[in-house]
Amino acid sequence: MVVRACVIGGYGINADCELRDAFAMAGSEAARVHVQDLLDRPSEIDRYHILAFPGGFSFGDHLGSGRVLAALFKRHLKEALDRFVSSGRLVIGVCNGFQVLVKMGILPNLRGGWTPEVSLIHNDTGLFEDSWVRLSFNRASPCLWTRGLAEAELPIRHGEGRFIVGSEEIMRRMEESGLVALRYEGRNPNGSLGAVAGITDPSGRILGLMPHPEAFLRPEQHPRWARERFEEGQGLALFRNGVEAVRRNL
């Protein structure tokens, strides 16, 4: 089957081309779709199997990272997105996209109903972090995107990546259910609780993460590529997982 990925663009989003290329390299048919087109016609997402929220600064982050886009999607597309996910389709949010998903409440969505339970706030350093980080993936996680992955090194570039939770109970439930899909190894660049770098929902079909897998698709994108001789960019496997999960399940 032809797997179609919808990569959202517009209004300050600036990593949509990279994300589109990632899905194309992973074997899907990827299209950049403007935010306003989805807001005007929510049923447009029914044409796709994967919905991707890229990094960037949607609406300039003027009211907080991802907050405006999250409010618009929750108001205008909640019904369409609920239908999208319940039909077995996949969603991913990278960096600003992750911020959007948690502020919508679609991640982790432990109680249902899209009630925000976690958030991403300013890095504890008070600085914009732009570096490469080591990551470990949770093999016990239900996440379809990270299945079979063990570790990777990916870049981060964010000012608000510190993961926090609304209560200890929420963190306990996330840990017990394997919803922490990936963690920072070694250096925790933003002070995230539990070194959390990305989470999934209970279905395993929605993933949000702060590192940028779409920024390491080719060996030459890594700063040590000439010395370490990567066969391919380590971020590509995550997108292949998503595309293959659609093929298996739909």
212 is catalytic: yes
Strand partners, 163: 120
Residues 6+ apart with CB under 8 A from 13: 35, 54, 55, 56, 57, 58, 96
Comparing C-alpha atoms, which of 112, 122, 85, 125 is closest to residue 207? 85
Give catalytic status of residue 34 as yes or no: no
Q: How many CB atoms lie within 10 A of CB 248?
A: 9
Residue among 18, 153, 214, 222 flagged as catalytic: 214
Among 95, 129, 153, 158, which one carries the catalytic annotation?
95
**CA separation (Å) from 140 to 5, 143, 233, 240, 246?**
26, 9, 24, 19, 20
Which of 114-133 are b and which e, b meaning 16 or more Cβ less than 10 Å from the residue's Cβ?
A: bebbbbbbbbeeeeebeeeb
Written in H, E and C, the secondary structure of 156-211 is EEECCCEEEECCHHHHHHHHHHCCEEEEEECCCCCCCHHHEEEEECCCCCEEEECC
6 is catalytic: no
Contacts of 194 (CB under 8 A, 6+ apart): 163, 171, 175, 180, 183
> Which residues are annotated as catalytic?
95, 212, 214
